[in-house]
Each structure stands twice: as C-alpha cells, then as structure tokens.
Amino acid sequence: MKALVINCSPVRDGATAEIVRIVSGELSTRYAVKDVCVDDYRIAFCRGCRACHTAARCVLRDDTDLLMEEFERADVIVAVSPSYWADVPGQFKVFIDRCTPWCNTHEPHRSIPSGKRGYAIALRTGPGMKECERVIGSIEHFYGHLEIACCGHLGLCGVEYREAAEARRGEIASFCASI
C-alpha cells in the first residue's frame, strides 16, 4: 500500500513541513510513503476557459499532471495544510482549481483509480478550531470531487513554528494510527 503526504504550504522547512515529516515517519511502518511539497511543482493559474469541461484535459501544460500521477499511485492521501486567511494556501488552491479535468462535476472527466482514502490535517497559529475546520472543509470538498473517500481529519491550533509541531507529536501519532 502506498501513501502520499502533501505539504500544502510553500514553506519547505516550517511547521507544516515538520508535521509532514512526522506523518511520513508514522505511516512508513505500514505504507510505502512519498511526501511532496506543492511548491515543488510548477502549476499555472486556471484561466477559466472551461475547455476541460468538453475535452477532459486542460489546455495548459505544466506539472499538474505530474502531481495527479502521485494521486493515482497512492492508496492513501494525507493533505497537511496551514491556514492562510482561514483557507488553504494559494499554491494549493491553484492546484485544486487545475484539477477540474479530474472532478466529477462535469462529463466527460478524467478520473483517478477508485478506492482511495483521504485524510486532512490543518494547522493554524491562533487558538480557535473554526479556521482549521474551514481548511479541512476545503480539502474534503476537493477529495469529494475526485471521489476520494474522506476518512478522517485533525485540526491543530496554536502551531506556528516547527517546535510547536514537534510538541504535538503524540497527537499526530495517534491520528496516524487510524490511517
């Protein structure tokens, strides 16, 4: 079984990256794990042309297909996202927008193999869980349109720096045990 862990932040060495590292380590005892950072891919903004609604392909050529190939290979997908103004970071949102050719919102559409399980982890610096819930909602909405089963989520408040993520290792490990 293969697991894909996505750092939805453009920051490769911050709190989100630390959580990705912890999750990857926890899952590596049961899965072949690949972790990626959304910012490692060159993904252009959607132009809203809707060509993908009739062709099931985007007219733009960039790394969106490469990242979607990672989704296709994985049995389990864990998206780890910080809150940027109460939602996913722009880089991840751009990727979501560009996945319209794979979404079940129109016919024809491309699809990824069925039976995938998706998990979401959201973190924020402040104390209120409401922002984490909104980030989780965005990720789960995305999973739903890809027909990935939403199987669990974790919200982590008060996490701004790597050290704060490390301090939550036990909570993260408990969550990973359910994956």
> In total, how many domains does the chain have?
1
- State the DSSP code for 39: G
Looking only at the bridges linking them, the beta strands covering 32-37 and 2-7 are parallel
Tokens for 107? Answer: 């016919």
Residue with tokens 């669990």: 152
Read off the pLDDT of residues 46-63 as tens digits, 9 standing for 90 and up.
Answer: 999 999 999 999 999 999
Q: Residues with Cβ < 8 Å from 98, sequence gap 6 or more?
A: 43, 44, 46, 58, 60, 62, 64
The enclosing domain of 170 has a CATH number of 3.40.50.360
Q: What is the pLDDT of residues 119-168, one digit of tens each?
A: 999 999 999 999 999 999 999 999 999 999 999 999 999 999 999 999 99
Among residues 44, 39, 34, 31, the alpha carbon closest in space to that of 14 is found at 39
Q: Which domain holds residue 107?
A: 2-177
pLDDT tens, position by position, 6-37: 999 999 999 999 999 999 999 999 999 999 99
Tens digit of each residue's pLDDT (9 = 90 or more) over 61-119: 999 999 999 999 999 999 999 999 999 999 999 999 999 999 999 899 999 999 999 99
Q: What is the pLDDT of residue 9?
A: 98
Using the structure block, give the residue that is written with the tokens 């890809």. Answer: 146
The pLDDT, as a whole number, for residue 20 is 98
pTM for the predicted model, two decimal places? 0.97
